[in-house]
Chains A and B, each alone.
Chain A
């Protein structure tokens, strides 16, 4: 049964050649959320690029799940700080 905006994990893993176990670990560590329907696990379509990004970090840089989790937090913080910096720069322009 297909669910709107969701992909069956097994289908995703098959197409992207990402280990099912890796996706499972991401869920166990709370890095992604899966939806269980009729004993089958689905992920949201929007999660796909996130999983691919985390898989690249794992495969290309050898970073484990805990490391990816820590990196996600740091990248999020950097992104927030960059946004803040951009807003502050715009405000500063007002006084120039």
Chain B
């Protein structure tokens, strides 16, 4: 268990006044509030710690206890004794858990305060910092990751998720992006004091099991063509996600020529019948191990230019 210097968390000295504590807390809360730092786990953790520090230091009784035992953390025996006594008597009263929802990026509650806090003050009591008493709070948001292959997102996918015995039927729209998160309302943790349930956030992790590179709904691939096909033109067969297609290579095709195969990309997310494109870049491969005859003919050819 890590000893936490609550004064340091708030940037204060031990003789800070109540006003100093309030001022420091407000300043840091404005900086690290989860609603102002969506998807920032570091800020969320920092906010949790300054809340914890504020909850202790703004309560004179808790502050006194912290000042007494917190510094001399090595004296665990005395501390444990105080803790046992406190558990019997209750500290701060009530069993309300305080939940901060963070606009879709997951919330945290007092249960996520550090082990240090739990040992010092118990898990249930939180007398400070909640002026409204039995305020209703939205339940904790849950986050989950769902792994799919790129070929799985060519059409809508129906999947059933098992969330601790609770089954959720889910339709994953075709063309979902790697790293994209969708919200399933009301499938998070239970609300506090009758508050609404939290939400379930599912982040998709798409593994590319194809030779194509993906940018949004468009796909990119490099195709090798031999020198003679590039010079004289010809027909080549290329793979797409929907099967093989024949392509006519124009005579005198240059290296790195890019062609577009319309509608051969991925379905566009939530756009009915809209599909991205496949871009093929030609890479011309030079013949190797030329025979004497070939060298002779090429030399003749070069003299013609």
Given A71-B36, A93-B213, A94-B213, A60 and B29 contact (CB-CB distance below 8 Å): yes
| B38, B179, B214: the one within 8 Å of A75 (CB) | B38
* Inter-chain contacts of A60 with B (CB < 8 A): 29, 33
Q: Please, how many angstroms separate the alpha-carbon atoms of A61 and B32 in the complex?
A: 11
Q: For the complex, is A36 an interface residue (Cβ under 8 Å from B)?
A: no
A57 to B35, CA, bound (A): 7
Q: Would you call A86 an interface residue if the criterion is a C-beta within 8 Å of the partner chain's C-beta atoms?
A: yes
Interface: B11 (CB within 8 A): no
Pairwise interchain contact A53-B29, C-beta atoms closer than 8 A = no
In the complex, what residue of chain B is closest to A87 when comparing beta carbons?
B216
- Quote the shortest CB–CB distance from A51 to chain B (angstroms): 12
- Complex contacts, B100 vs chain A, CB 8 Å: 56
CA distance A75 to B39 in the complex (A): 12
How many Å lie between the Cα of A94 and that of B220 in the bound state? 8
| Chain B hits for A86, CB < 8 A | 179
Residues from chain A with Cβ under 8 Å of B179 in the complex: 86
CA of A75 to CA of B194, assembled, Å: 30
B233 within 8 A of A: no
Number of A-B contacts (CB under 8 A): 47
Return the chain A residue nearest B220 by Cβ: A94
Q: Which residues of chain B come closer than 8 Å to A15, judged between CB atoms?
A: 136, 194
**Interface check B146, CB cutoff 8 A:** no
Does the CB pair B215–A90 fall under 8 Å? yes
B268 at the interface (CB under 8 A from A): no
A77-96 residues with Cβ-Cβ distance < 8 A to B are 79, 86-87, 90-91, 93-94
B140 to chain A, nearest CB (A): 14
Known: A52-B101, A79-B38. 15 other contacts (CB 8 A): A16-B136, A49-B138, A53-B101, A53-B103, A56-B33, A56-B35, A57-B33, A57-B35, A57-B36, A60-B29, A61-B26, A75-B36, A75-B38, A87-B216, A90-B214
Residues of A within 8 A of B (CB): 15-17, 48-49, 52-53, 56-57, 60-63, 71, 75, 79, 86-87, 90-91, 93-94
Top 5 A-B residue pairs of the complex, sorted by shortest distance between their CB atoms? A53-B103, A61-B30, A53-B35, A90-B215, A94-B213
